[in-house]
Structure 1
Amino acid sequence: MNVVLREVRDADLSVLHAQSIEPEALHLAAFTADDPTDRTRFDAHWSRIRTNPQVVLRAVTAGADGELLGHAAVYGSPDEREVTYWIGRAHWGRGVATAALRALLVTVPERPLHARVAADNAGSLRVLHACGFRVTGRERSFAAARGEEIEELLLTLTALTAP
């Protein structure tokens, strides 16, 4: 999949919000805002992260028209940098998340980087493994999207470059 990462634009926010409330995506992501449908809270959160110099946030696009497919980011304190990504449901199963994460890892060469994933989110776990992340721990955490505690896998990427 030929993806391009670019800065997030104001015009992207409606699409990103719609992607963030897709029921199947919410279930798989599990660890979400208490009320992901709250657009005011969504906009406030995105305003904060877009202006935070410690956050590397990119829109994931593809095709000649630059269709918005989702977003990918690195955030957190220098000793606990973590990756996150969200790809719209319509684009799953086409290698978008893997290509986007690989491109992000080239953009952000610092290591180690960390990730978290619901233990039953096989697709996201495949993406992280394909990009060189390895499981380094497990914990039970409350997943707001599911309304219960679930198992979460902790992963780390230590290589200097993406595989």
Structure 2
Amino acid sequence: MSVAGATLAGMTTNDVRLRPVQDDDLELFLAYEHDPEAVRRSRFTPRPREAFLRHWRERVLGDPSGLVRTVVADGEVAGNIVAWWEGERRFTGYWLGRAYWGRGIGSRALALFLREEPVRPLFADPFAGNTASVRLLEKSGFVPYEGAEHPVDEGFVLLVLRDRAAGAP
């Protein structure tokens, strides 16, 4: 049985929250993006500092249609979770620092985010080899998308959350 506030791997479920991104968060996000193990798992090439900051300030935070949140765990910045439009499709993605992996933080953060993000269908396209991320999405109600109209880069998988109830905790 799951109870809010119950201990989960050394933390309580109440220890995870989302808040708007602050400019000071960006340096931590940059460090998390440059973690070699995170790069290997995500197959994402980290950006140089100035390009990273420009991307975040102009494209991510500067997009009024985006939903952008900092994930806070135990009072510390654990990472970020975002939703954005890509053509006619709404996507979500997240990035957590390695110290926050495997502790249920990503699952709790995504559950909180899905309460806030109203758009369905909602898509995600993680690297297929990042099995922890794929499992997190599937546990949250995402299923493989079979449509041909959105090709995915080789090695990645396209998942979709079809309705609000599917991702609701």
Q: Taking every aligned residue pair, what percent have the same amino acid on both sides?
A: 34
Does 2:153 correspond to 1:153? Answer: no
Q: Which runs of 4+ in 1 moved over 4 A?
A: none
Deviations 1:17-66 (Å, cap 9, x if unpaired)?
Answer: 00011011011111x34xx2400000100111112101110000022xx2
Unpaired stretches in structure 1, ≥5 consecutive residues: 142-149
Equivalent residue pairs, number: 150
Unpaired stretches in structure 2, ≥5 consecutive residues: 1-12
How do 1:124-163 and structure 2 match up within 5 A?
124-137=133-146, 141=153, 150-161=154-165, 162-163=167-168
- What residue in structure 1 maps to residue 54 of structure 2? 44
- What residue in structure 2 maps to residue 27 of structure 1? 40
Structure with the larger strand share: 1
Using CA pairs below 8 Å that are at least 6 residues apart, which structure has the higher relative contact order? 1
Does 2:87 correspond to 1:83? Answer: no
Q: Distance in 1 between matches of 2:152 and 2:23?
A: 36
- What residue in structure 2 maps to residue 109 of structure 1? 118
Does 2:28 correspond to 1:15? Answer: yes
Q: Distance in 2 between matches of 1:78 and 1:42?
A: 22
Match of 1:59 among 65, 70, 85: 70
Offset of residue 79 of structure 1: 2.9
The two structures, once aligned, show a CA RMSD in angstroms of 1.7
- Greater mean alpha carbon deviation, residues 52-61 or residues 130-139: 130-139
Structure 2 letter corresponding to 1:47: R
Does 2:18 correspond to 1:5? Answer: yes
> What secondary structure, in the 3-state scheme, does the structure 1 residue paired with 2:124 have?
strand
Structure 1 letter corresponding to 2:53: D
Q: Compute the TM-score of the two structures, normalised by the length of structure 2.
A: 0.83
Offset of residue 103 of structure 1: 0.8
Deviations 1:101-141 (Å, cap 9, x if unpaired)?
Answer: 11111001221000001111110011101110001149662
